[in-house]
Amino acid sequence: MVRKHSLLSALSVLLFICVAFFAQAENYPYRSDYLWVTTPSHDNWLYQLNEKATVKVSLYHYGMQLETGTIHYSIGPDMLDADTQGEITLNQGIATINVGTMNKPGFRDLRLEYKEGTRVVRHHIKVGFEPDKLTPYTTQPTDFLNYWQQAIDESKAIPLDVEKTFVPQFSNNMIDCYLLKIQVYKTGQYVYGYLTVPKKDGKYPLVFSPPGAGIKPMTPEKHLFYAENGMIRFDMEIHGIRPNLDKTTYKEVSRAFGTGNNSYLVNGLDDKDSYYMKKVYVSLFRVLDYLTTEPKWDGKNLIVQGASQGGGLALVTAGLDKRVTAVAVNHPALADMAGYKAGRAGGYPHLFTRFTGMDTPEKLATLPYYDAVNFARLINVPVFMTWGYNDNTCPPTTSYIVYNTLTSDKEALITPITEHWVSTETRWKILHWIERQLH
């Protein structure tokens, strides 16, 4: 069942945002002098098809409500160009904007601007129209299962060849941390990752976490609390680049094959066998081949958990690997990537809006083999998902499509105001959900 969270009252919103400032939440610029408060006419931000939605808007400067001022707004479908725009004047500190409606399931995005001299202050809010009825554009190829099973079987001929190095920097009196280098897919092709293990003797559940998108340094610091609470955890790197290199080196590598049409996310997309992500997908299963030999693993509980690109990769793993017993996903990427062909938002990496030359028969033929939706269709273990409506990286349209596609036991934590981030509180809720799945 989807949990629908009531919208906070105007006062509660203000208090929430003050807390968010100190947490450096992304909805509002950190230490900004301006604060937007936007209140949809439905407290869960959801509407029926053809029902009109309105949003009340207030703007605060130095904590004081602006009594008057001109707000420029534009409104359009989730991730698409605006179809409506105009200006409205605050009247005693409030303006009410008609967001319109939709006759098909989806989201409308109200984008706001306020100008003070040369300063432009922006905000946005998305409201949904029966998103529980969204369905994927992506279809599953007839040879989908055979293709991936063959790729995984072929990779097993390659020795794992693991290097394991103790990392005192991330170890403490409760846990040991190791940097692993694991050969996957083909000879000489490696991935890295940090393995954190409870020091205390015993047998523990295993949590496997693929990474978010990008080419950047990584550390396990945000998730050390898993091992401190009795779980083995592996945070994975996918490019074969040592994760503890300095940031300057990573920026140079990223400029070389991490941006625009040089991005690894489109490298080789004309052919499913030459696509860069084939190595990445196969490596997920090879890494588990090694992790399941960990002496402290309990031999029963294997949970996959990831966010964004890592969320998409978690769905890939859970869809094909029958050793997985549960999966927890935050705003998954790589989902219904060709959804733009249906005239609505598609999933990250937004191939048709942020790259050029992607809409070709060859690329469209490759995408379904790598779309997280087609792996979600195969999952038969419990799933926890969380996402927000204001996300412009992994939009709510595609998160709903993933959730609607799942047929196994599932639970959702929907946090409408959230953009492309997850709070510390939600991280702990994910851990506690995982604990309830253990057997």
Annotated catalytic residues are 308, 391, 420
Q: 409: Cβ–Cβ under 8 A, 6 or more apart, which residues?
A: 381, 382, 383
Report how far residue 100's alpha carbon sits from residue 50's, in angstroms, rounded to the nearest whole number.
9
Q: 374: Cβ–Cβ under 8 A, 6 or more apart, which residues?
A: 138, 140, 141, 144, 319, 368
Cβ(134)–Cβ(343) below 8 Å: no
Which tokens is 251 given? 């920026």
Tell me the DSSP string of 73-125. Answer: EEEEETTS--SEEEEEE-BTTBEEEEEE--SSSEEEEEEEEEEETTEEEEEEE
What is the helix (H) or strand (E) element at residue 405, kind and residue range?
A: helix 396-405
Report how far residue 243's alpha carbon sits from residue 256's, in angstroms, rounded to the nearest whole number.
17
The gap between the terminal CA atoms of the chain, to the nearest Å, is: 22
Q: What share of the chain is helix, strand, coil (3-state, %, to 5)?
A: 30, 30, 40
Other residues' Cβ atoms within 10 Å of the Cβ of residue 188: 9
